[in-house]
């Protein structure tokens, strides 16, 4: 066997052990290559507390006892790293690491850096190259480098690949089929991005990917790695970005995974109070350990490098930065200052974002954070965490609570709708209507709405209209666009048959038209993160549950007037203050009959009168249908975006 020290550079070992090897996957794991004139596979493993380490697989009947067939790895000095070369092995070889711990116990582990895993329930790693796919998305990759996201439209369609469409429980639709069907659908609906629930390998379907074992292996449920590349490539060539839900906060306890990897708490903290995540039955990463930093930061870059992913939604940030998140009193700990903030996790997140933006400054790094921790989207040099977007969980909770309230009682909780504007510019926000809100007994968005069957649809159209015009980028979970009535069923496909019913098909067409209006009107997204992009017209009309406001573009030249009636009472004559004279053209009426509404007649155009109202010099007189949203623009303001 070639000397292990010759298989790994001393620079890589140093950088890995100091938390600075940011593409560790190029060194660690299994790589088919030629060494000393022979073809084979190089294996590199971090297991500092193992007494012995072997690679086993089909080639040795999965046992290290036959030393002539198993591959014995050699320890490289005191680095904690093992390496070896399997002569004659090649791609497609199934393997695991067999580690002998300090007590002499043997454990079989999948490769933490493995690029492919067997189809569950099997758990072996598979030697795989990721360099064969011929990418055709060069135009997209260059174009996105020249375009910052802040003043661009962002409509994210969140999808779980296994249950978007499902003809039967098994097999799932493959990556290649989804590259055609899902991408075509998303493009037709007008979304700018697809965000997929975690795709790193995971043993349990029902975890949705949030309990990971193979951080570098795209799940084999939907096919080989090249299939995922095809899906991303197809999306890019259709002008659609792809975002990945990334779980860097915790990992599952399955025996073949990271838990007690070399017989000791290696990836997790040694103190069980800090390691355990009782809410999910998982283990936290030890963010202060340099090698764990190399592992995780390399993984974030890996998805952007190997799969051309456009950004990561970092899951469960609140659970990472709070040592005592959802823990009983018996497990509470404190940092060195006596507080509950996880100082090491905060430092890791800053380092993660700094590194990602160093290599991919055009990326999206989005924090799913339900905490009130400040400056999540501020630069690290100003003391922030360095993300460029944060999910606005406060807005989501307030609005769902408000929309679930019967319209007769909405005047008493009017502030739930208006409160978000007090902090709308404290972070760069995404307004999420995600999978978390339509599972575990929470009901679908449509079924959250109060009232009769028809009123549920009216309320949801109204809600979507308000959501689309509120400052912040948008995210909607699959099925919400056509009014999925049942909760999301992760073991079955969406209820596409509902589109045979007029109200559901009308809802889908309404959402598509709403998306189109959003994309065409720069006032609805260009100035999302500046107070100059929003102005209340009438914020105080709680008695009638009517809200009106103005969205304005960056130059202050183009605007959209939004009027939302959250009550069951229609108002045949409603006067609305406007800033400019002239004619105002109707952009959207959610009460249209072909959207499933009552069809209240609304004029296509209205003329501003010299009648002061709502502190404005002019006003327009419009009908205001019940449970409806109307959007208007000055007649000389045609579509301004493509």
Distance CA 22, CA 27 (A): 10
Distance CA 259, CA 443 (A): 35
Distance CA 307, CA 26 (A): 15
Q: Is 408 helix (H, G, I), strand (E, B) or coil?
A: helix
Q: Which of 137, 201, 245, 368 is catalytic?
A: 368
Distance CA 378, CA 387 (A): 7
Q: Is 315 a catalytic residue?
A: yes
DSSP state of 388: S
262 contacts 47 by C-beta, under 8 angstroms: yes
Query: Tokens representing 109?
Result: 């582990």
Q: Which residues contact 303 (CB under 8 A, 6 or more apart)?
A: 244, 246, 309, 312
Query: Tokens representing 629?
Result: 């949203």
Q: Which of 517, 614, 534, 524 is nearest to 574 (CA)?
A: 614
601 contacts 613 by C-beta, under 8 angstroms: no
First to last CA, the chain: 60
Query: Tokens representing 384?
Result: 């922030």
**Residue 49 exposed, middle or buried by CB count within 10 Å (0-12, 13-18, 19+):** middle
Q: Which residues contact 598 (CB under 8 A, 6 or more apart)?
A: 458, 591, 625, 626
Q: Which helix (H) or strand (E) holds 417?
A: helix 415-418
Q: Is 368 a catalytic residue?
A: yes
Distance CA 415, CA 92 (A): 59
Tokens 């605007």 map to which residue?
Answer: 559
Buried-state track 300-327, b at ≥16 Cβ within 10 A, e below 16: bbbbbbbbbbbbbbbbbbbbbbbbbbeb
Q: Which of 315, 528, 553, 637 is catalytic?
A: 315
Q: Which of 98, 93, 108 is nearest to 32 (CA)?
A: 93
- Residues with a catalytic annotation lie at 315, 368
């Amino acid at each position: 066997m070639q000397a292990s020290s010759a298989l790994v550079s001393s620079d890589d070992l140093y950088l890995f052990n100091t938390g600075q090897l940011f593409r560790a996957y190029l060194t660690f794991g299994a790589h088919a290559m030629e060494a000393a004139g022979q073809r084979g596979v190089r294996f590199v493993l971090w297991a500092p507390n193992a007494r012995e380490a072997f690679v086993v697989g089909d080639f040795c009947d999965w046992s290290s006892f036959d030393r002539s067939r198993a591959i014995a790895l050699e320890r490289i000095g005191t680095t904690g790293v093992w390496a070896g070369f399997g002569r004659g092995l090649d791609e497609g070889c199934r393997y695991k690491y067999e580690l002998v711990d300090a007590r002499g116990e043997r454990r079989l582990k999948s490769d933490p850096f493995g690029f492919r895993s067997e189809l569950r329930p099997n758990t072996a790693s598979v030697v795989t190259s990721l360099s064969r796919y011929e990418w055709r998305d060069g135009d997209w990759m260059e174009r996105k480098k020249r375009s910052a996201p802040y003043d661009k439209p962002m409509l994210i369609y969140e999808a779980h690949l296994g249950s978007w469409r499902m003809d039967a429980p098994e097999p799932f639709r493959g990556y290649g089929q989804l590259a055609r069907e899902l991408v075509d659908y998303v493009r037709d609906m007008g979304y700018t991005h697809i965000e997929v629930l975690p795709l790193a390998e995971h043993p349990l379907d029902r975890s949705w990917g949030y309990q990971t074992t193979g951080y570098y292996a795209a799940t084999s449920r939907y096919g080989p790695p090249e299939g995922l590349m095809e899906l991303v490539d197809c999306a890019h060539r259709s002008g659609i970005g792809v975002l990945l839900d990334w779980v860097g906060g915790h990992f599952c306890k399955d025996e073949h995974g990271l838990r007690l990897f070399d017989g000791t708490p290696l990836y997790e903290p040694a103190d069980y109070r800090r390691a355990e995540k009782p809410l999910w039955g998982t283990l936290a990463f030890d963010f202060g350990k340099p090698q764990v930093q190399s592992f995780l930061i390399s993984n974030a870059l890996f998805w952007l490098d190997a799969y051309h992913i456009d950004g990561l939604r970092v899951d469960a940030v609140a659970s990472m930065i709070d040592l005592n998140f959802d823990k009983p009193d018996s497990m509470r700990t404190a940092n060195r200052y006596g507080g509950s903030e996880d100082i090491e996790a905060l430092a890791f997140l800053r380092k993660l974002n700094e590194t990602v933006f160093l290599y991919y400054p055009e990326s999206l790094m989005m924090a799913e954070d339900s905490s009130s921790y400040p400056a999540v989207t501020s630069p690290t040099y100003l003391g922030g965490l360095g993300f460029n977007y944060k999910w606005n969980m406060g807005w989501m909770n307030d609005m769902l609570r408000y929309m679930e309230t019967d319209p007769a009682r909405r005047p008493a909780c009017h502030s739930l709708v208006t409160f978000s504007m007090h902090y709308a510019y404290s972070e760069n926000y995404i307004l999420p209507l995600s999978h978390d809100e339509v599972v575990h007994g929470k009901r679908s968005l449509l079924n959250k709405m109060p009232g009769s069957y028809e009123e549920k649809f009216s309320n949801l159209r109204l809600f979507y209209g308000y959501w689309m015009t509120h400052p912040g980028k948008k995210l909607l979970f699959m099925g919400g666009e056509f009014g999925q009535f049942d909760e999301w069923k992760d073991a079955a496909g969406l209820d596409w048959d509902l589109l045979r019913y007029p109200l559901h098909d009308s809802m889908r067409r309404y959402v598509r038209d709403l998306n189109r209006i959003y994309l065409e009107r720069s006032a609805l997204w260009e100035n999302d993160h500046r107070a100059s992009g929003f102005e209340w017209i009438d914020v105080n009309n709680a008695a009638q549950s009517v809200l009106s406001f103005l969205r304005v573009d960056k130059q202050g030249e183009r605007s959209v007037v939004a009027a939302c009636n959250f009550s069951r009472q229609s108002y045949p004559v409603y006067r609305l203050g406007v800033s400019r004279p002239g004619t105002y053209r109707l952009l959207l009426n959610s009460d249209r009959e072909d959207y499933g509404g009552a069809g209240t007649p609304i004029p296509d155009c209205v003329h501003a009168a010299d009648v002061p109202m709502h502190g404005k010099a002019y006003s327009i007189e419009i009908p205001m249908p019940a449970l409806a949203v109307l959007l208007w623009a000055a007649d000389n303001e045609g579509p301004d975006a493509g």
